[in-house]
Amino acid sequence: MTVTDLVSYEDALATYEPVMGLEVHVELGTKTKMFCGCSTALGADANTQTCPTCLGLPGSLPVVNAIGVESAIKIGLALNCSIAEWCRFARKNYFYPDMPKNFQTSQYDEPIAFDGYLDVQLEDGEVFRVEIERAHMEEDTGKSTHVGGATGRIHGASHSLLDYNRAGIPLIEIVTKPIKGAGERAPEVAKAYVAELRELIKALGVSEARMEMGQMRCDVNLSLMPKGSEKFGTRSETKNVNSLRSVERAARFEIQRHAAVLSSGGTIIQETRHFHEEDGSTTSGRVKEEAEDYRYFPEPDLVPVAPSREWVEELRKGLPELPRLRRNRLREEWGVSEHDMQSILNAGAVDLIVATTEAGADAAAARKWWMGELARRANEDGVDLDALPITPEQVARVAALVAEGSLNDKLARQTIEGVLAGEGTPDEVVEKRGLKVVSDEGALGKAVDEAIESNAAIADKIRGGKVAAAGALVGAVMKATRGQADAARVRELILEKLGVEG
The contact set with Zn ion (CB under 5 A) reads 36, 38, 51, 53-54
| Type of residue found at 363 | A
284-321 in b/e form (b: 16+ CB < 10 A) is eeeeeeeeeebebeebeebeebebeeeebeebeeeeee
Minimum CB separation of residue 221 from Mg ion in Å reads 7
Minimum CB separation of residue 376 from ligand ADP in Å reads 33
Out of Mg ion, Zn ion, ligand ADP, none, what residue 54 binds, judged by CB under 5 to 8 A for its kind, is: Zn ion
Select from 61-69, 119-127, 169-177, 187-195 the region that touches ligand ADP (CB under 6 A): 169-177
Cα 34 from Cα 26, distance rounded (Å):
13
H helix count then E strand count, the chain: 17, 14
Contact 28, 46 (CB under 8 A): no
Out of Mg ion, Zn ion, ligand ADP, none, what residue 177 binds, judged by CB under 5 to 8 A for its kind, is: ligand ADP
Rule CB under 6 A: say whether 285 interacts with ligand ADP.
no
- Of 302 and 495, nearer to Zn ion (C-beta) is 302
Select from 20-28, 330-338, 424-432, 438-446 the region that touches Mg ion (CB under 5 A): 20-28
| Type of residue found at 39 | S
Rule CB under 5 A: say whether 271 interacts with Mg ion.
no
Residue 141 burial (C-beta neighbours within 10 Å; 0-12, 13-18, 19+): buried
Site for Mg ion in 437-496 (CB under 5 A): none
Rule CB under 5 A: say whether 393 interacts with Mg ion.
no
Closest CA to 249 of 279, 211, 217: 279
Rule CB under 6 A: say whether 117 interacts with ligand ADP.
no
Rule CB under 6 A: say whether 106 interacts with ligand ADP.
no
Closest CA to 37 of 52, 15, 26, 24: 52
Tell me the sheet residues that pair with 127: 121
Residue 449 burial (C-beta neighbours within 10 Å; 0-12, 13-18, 19+): middle
- Of 36 and 69, nearer to Zn ion (C-beta) is 36
Select from 217-225, 249-257, 398-406, 475-483 the region that touches Mg ion (CB under 5 A): 217-225
Rule CB under 6 A: say whether 21 interacts with ligand ADP.
yes
Out of ligand ADP, Zn ion, Mg ion, none, what residue 311 binds, judged by CB under 5 to 8 A for its kind, is: none
Rule CB under 6 A: say whether 296 interacts with ligand ADP.
no
Rule CB under 6 A: say whether 182 interacts with ligand ADP.
no
SS3 content of the chain, % helix, strand, coil (to 5): 45, 20, 35
Cα 312 from Cα 288, distance rounded (Å):
36
- Out of 25, 146, 177, 276, the only residue in the binding site for ligand ADP (CB under 6 A) is 177
Contact 296, 320 (CB under 8 A): no
- Out of 9, 117, 128, 232, the only residue in the binding site for ligand ADP (CB under 6 A) is 232
Contact 400, 361 (CB under 8 A): yes
Rule CB under 6 A: say whether 178 interacts with ligand ADP.
yes
CA 305 and chain centroid, separation: 32
Minimum CB separation of residue 164 from Zn ion in Å reads 8
Rule CB under 6 A: say whether 136 interacts with ligand ADP.
no
Rule CB under 6 A: say whether 20 interacts with ligand ADP.
yes
Residues that bind Mg ion (CB under 5 A): 23, 219
